[in-house]
Amino acid sequence: MRLGVNLDHIATVREARKAKEPDPVQAALLAELGGADGITVHLRGDRRHIKERDVKLLKDVVKTRLNVEMAATDEMVEIALEILPHQVTLVPERREEITTEGGLDVVLQGEFIKPAISKLLAAGIEVSIFVDPDPDQVRACAKLGVGAVEINTGKYAEGERVDQELEHISKTAKLASKIGLKVLAGHGLNYRNVTPIVKIEEIEELNIGHSIVARAVYVGLERAVREMKELINRR
């Protein structure tokens, strides 16, 4: 199983003082030294943490894979077409939210995001969509021609109805794999709750950010990534 490390909150600390450090680009190098299989950042419309400068530099220095989360807006698509990350993950986005609060409703918004997907795919960028663990959402993604889905583990990670949410995730992952989609997962995963998700065989990659950055405050980023990588390698 691969580990994608989300570095948004390295930039959050930087932006708290509008300073030059900590630098998510330097953090990416340490994450890769710790065993990260990819680097993920979310370029938001309000630029609250990650900036275009970060994404451009990350494309140049990341030796694994660069995954850019973004909304399916004209502005974001143009940026992606300029920078050409390895992958774009389309996510919902609301200015008032602290972090992404749920999956993209592809059933309702499929026609809206279809032009963005077509442009990204035509440029050779892999496209994934962040969705809730819902079979209808996965089927809608497949119809749009994307190669992967990232299943939202947020409700599971919140600790309510854990067994039920884990079952939803597992069934959705099985369906996605059966219809030919790569299966990724993430949101709210940490060192305590990741193991049951790791055991779902269809999931190929986890994207984890906040808990790794929080752990890094105590032990350093390279070690924090290595510890998470060790956990997910136990599947």
Looking at 42, 49, 165, 202, which residue is catalytic? 42
- What is the distance between the alpha carbons of residues 142 and 146, in angstroms, rounded to a whole number? 6
Residue 84's region, left for phi above 0, alpha for psi from -120 to 50, else beta, is left
Looking at 9, 32, 49, 69, which residue is catalytic? 69
pLDDT, one tens digit per residue, over 161-183 is 999 999 999 999 999 999 999 99
pLDDT tier, 95 (very low <50, low <70, confident <90, very high otherwise): low
The whole-model pTM stands at: 0.94
Q: Any catalytic annotation for residue 168?
A: no
**Number of structural domains in the chain:** 1
Looking at 165, 168, 187, 222, which residue is catalytic? 187
Q: Any catalytic annotation for residue 9?
A: no
Domain around 74: 2-232
Q: Average of pLDDT values for 116-137?
A: 98
Q: Average of pLDDT values for 64-73?
A: 97
Task: Provide the CATH number for the domain around residue 117.
Answer: 3.20.20.70
- Output the CA angle 78-204-181, nearest 5 degrees: 60
- What is the distance between the alpha carbons of residues 88 and 172, in angstroms, rounded to a whole number? 21
Q: Token pair of 148, please?
A: 């992967």
Inter-CA distances, 148 with 3, 57, 180, 214, Å: 15, 25, 8, 28
pLDDT, one tens digit per residue, over 107-125 is 999 999 999 999 999 999 9
pLDDT at 194 over 80: yes
Q: Any catalytic annotation for residue 52?
A: no
- What is the distance between the alpha carbons of residues 220 and 169, in angstroms, rounded to a whole number? 31
